[in-house]
Chain A
Amino acid sequence: MKPKIYINGISSISAQNLDFEENPVSYHKTIFPAISPNYKEFIKPMALRRMSKAIKMGITSAKVALNEAKIVNPDAIITGTGEGCKQDTERFLENLIDQDEELLSPTSFIQSTHNTIGGQIALNLGCKNYNVTYTQNSASLESALLDAEMQLLETSEKKSVLVGGVDELSEKITQFRALDGQLKSIDIHNLDLLKEDSPGTITSEGSHFFTLSTEKNNKSYAEFKGVSIKNSIQPEKINDEVEIFLNRNNINAAAIDVVILGNNGDNRCDHYYKNLQQNLFKNTAQLAYKHLVGDYDTVSGFALYSACKILKSRRISSILKLNTSKPKELKNILIYNQYLGRDHSLILLSAV
């Protein structure tokens, strides 16, 4: 029989405080940064000085997720990042242009590669095991989760995998999003995002790591049932596609207690979510989260983190709710995300 996979450790760094239910942080901007934890608790000051925010957030949240699961050295480290180390990329690129390709310092180039975060986590832990980084836009974390699932099921040798998603803001490249309509044309209040009927969204940064394991413990958050990625889906086919995924996992839509959707207030593409809200999941409790943390490539990590919290605490924060449907029980949660109509993903979790 196929072994089960459990989520035994989780962590989140985002633009919200962890007690966002009582005190949601409000922004009146289209771009807002993540709230930094005290990195010094996790990274030596000397090393910290050289690190971009993506690396700091990545190492810190990786360590929290491992500590929670009481894992020192995972059997694999799998990272998803849409844009990688954008701050160092931008710095090197600007220097290159400004200095006309002369007298460049290699520091930012060294730290610009997309696998720097995964590599630095390995270096920090002294972990020589499997290490891969996925960079598929909004399906980056999901690609990493798929690989993690396979790592744990391929052989019985691997017991725990660290998997996570990280993306950071940078001063200029993030701002480019305003030029091709990815951002709202005027500043809005993030908490009102889902009331918007206009193109574009709001963006931010963050890091979410998870320790997946084939062994359950008394602190396990959830059972990880499966993940699916599809690059493009015709708008009218979205209900069918979700049903295909559910069938493959031997479950039907009625058994989904909560669906977490990626609505981002962009009226060009939110129809994918609205179609599911009005059809397949009409009577299901529907949640959304991008009004709290913005939209960026690996933001679905916040959805996965929230789903784990819901399944363990058996309660749902009202600030996430899109409708008034009350789930009879809290057993199965489905997460659906896409960005600009591409890189669709589904993640299915169950209570342990």
Chain B
Amino acid sequence: MNRGVAVTGMGIISAIGNNTDANYRSLLSSESGISFPEILKTTHKNIPVGEIKISNRSLAESLELPKDHSFTRAALLGSIAVKEALEQSKININAETGFISGTSVGGIDETENHFKEFTEGKTKNNRFIRSQHPGFTTEKIAEHFGITGFVSTISTACSSGANAIMMGARMIKAGKLKRVIVGGTDCLTKFTLNGFNSLMILSEEHCRSFDENRNGLNLGEGAAYLVLEAEEELKGKTVLGRIMGYGNANDAFHQTASSENGEGAFLAMHQALKISNLSSGKIDYINAHGTATKNNDLSESRAIRRLFGENVPHFSSTKAFTGHSLAAAGALEAVYSLISLNKQQMFPNLNFFRAMSETELQPITELKEKKLNFILSNSFGFGGNCTSLIFAKDEA
């Protein structure tokens, strides 16, 4: 029987809280974390973002790092989330503990800070020279927790975190690891803020996922990690939920845009159901990607319609709470899905007023309680990378 892979710990930091409880409280009270940038030193002061209002210095202090540390902001956020996940799962870190982290731009925040001085040949901050490599950020986190075994990074833009969770679950299933910490981290950077701004897909208001009049996304930042353990390692431990299935497909349509009919998204969801050995009717709730861009939400809605027909389960996007935290999004939403399974609650899609004419899909707009056994979580990214995960309640 497919029992899936057990999750025994989770940790999160996002614009709506510094740990799982704080995130849950914000989700319960519909409190959005969207604000204007204060920590990120950008000229775009009027673009709303999901920013974590803690400086790098305070984050470093709370991790008790030395002053001359070389942690990028993504490594700082990642370490805070991993710490919480480890405290919950109480695993011993040894050679058979792996770490797989998703990140889209890694430590480019430090590259943009020091680019000019490096170009001029100044070496004062040369400990950040390699920060542009995504693996650099991952390695800093691994180092901090004494993880010396399998360490890897996935960078598939906005589906990175979900792909890291999938890879970890597969490695446990294949017997390659006994336990693995999986998830993603990305911080706000001028690079990504200006990148999305140049694509003209940032909203000047709070984002309105799945709404007819949605006009773009809010960029966010955050990190979230899960601890996955092999069955024989559990020994009566509390299991927060199980990763039942996963699917990965490529839209192969356009470098940044999603196809009209959501082919990649459809294939990823379909594959996840197949691996889980579940029919579509078993899905109780979808935590949608729902970035609130015209393109994504239509493409995802069509894919959902194609897969579920007239029986679309309850669904919502939590992007209006956190902003779109890129590589971390799939990991943040994995934590939200696990909270949903444990509390038997679905969190609202904020700022929704009118269904889009093409699909008429209505997300849930207020907190709802329901018997939840299986939750589907979607993450789609540039490069056509689409990933879907299915989480199950432990006893489901």
Contacts and interface: CB of A to CB of B under 8 A. Distances in A.
A179 B151 contact: no
B249 A129 contact: yes
Contact of B152 (A122, A134, A153, A180): A134
Interface of A: 77, 82-84, 86, 89, 92-94, 96-97, 100-102, 104-106, 109-116, 118-120, 122-123, 125-137, 139-140, 143, 146-147, 150, 153-154, 172-173, 176-177, 179-180, 182, 229-233, 297, 342-343
B378 interface: no
B255 A119 contact: yes
Nearest to A112: B195
A177 B129 contact: yes
Contact of A180 (B44, B112, B126): B126
B300 interface: no
B255 A135 contact: no
A147 B138 CA distance: 18
A97 B116 contact: yes
A343 B264 CA distance: 33
B43 A101 contact: yes
A104 B197 contact: yes
B154 A180 contact: no
Contact of A131 (B42, B112, B250): B250
Interface stretch (B81-89, B167-175, B339-347): B167-175
Contacts of A96: 112, 190-191, 194
Given A122-B252, A150-B171, A180-B127, A136 B135 contact: yes
A131 B248 contact: yes
Contact of B148 (A93, A120, A137, A231): A231
A150 B170 contact: yes
B301 interface: no
Given A83-B133, A113-B382, A131-B249, A180 B148 contact: no
A115 B194 contact: no
Contacts of B176: 146, 150
B182 to A, nearest CB: 13
9 contacts: A93-B112, A101-B194, A106-B198, A132-B385, A133-B155, A136-B153, A154-B173, A231-B148, A233-B148
B281 interface: no
A74 to B, nearest CB: 11
Contacts of B112: 93, 96-97
B152 A229 contact: yes
Contacts of A135: 103, 106, 133-135, 153-155
A100 B43 contact: yes
Given A115-B381, A231-B142, A127 B133 contact: no
A150 B248 CA distance: 14
B385 A115 contact: yes
Nearest to A342: B139
A106 B250 contact: no
A263 B171 CA distance: 30
B255 A110 contact: yes
A130 B254 CA distance: 16
Interface in B233-281: 248-256, 263-264, 267
Nearest to A126: B252
A180 B151 contact: no
Contact of A101 (B42, B267, B381): B42
Contacts of B249: 128-131
Contacts of B174: 150, 153-154
A150 B253 CA distance: 27
A119 B248 CA distance: 13
Nearest to A155: B275
Contact of B154 (A92, A123, A133, A154): A133
Interface in B69-111: 99, 103-104, 106, 108, 111
A93 B116 CA distance: 10
Nearest to B173: A154
B305 interface: no
Given A109-B199, A110-B255, A128-B251, A137 B382 contact: no
Contact of A136 (B132, B151, B156): B151
Given A96-B194, A97-B115, A132-B154, A231 B139 contact: yes
Contacts of A134: 152-155
Contact of A137 (B139, B264, B383): B139
B380 to A, nearest CB: 12
B108 A89 contact: yes
A289 B45 CA distance: 51
Q: Choose among B139, B194, B199, B252 the residue with the greatest number of A CB atoms under 10 Å from its CB.
A: B252
A179 B151 CA distance: 26
Given A128-B264, A143-B152, A93 B111 contact: yes
B198 A180 contact: no
B147 A231 contact: yes
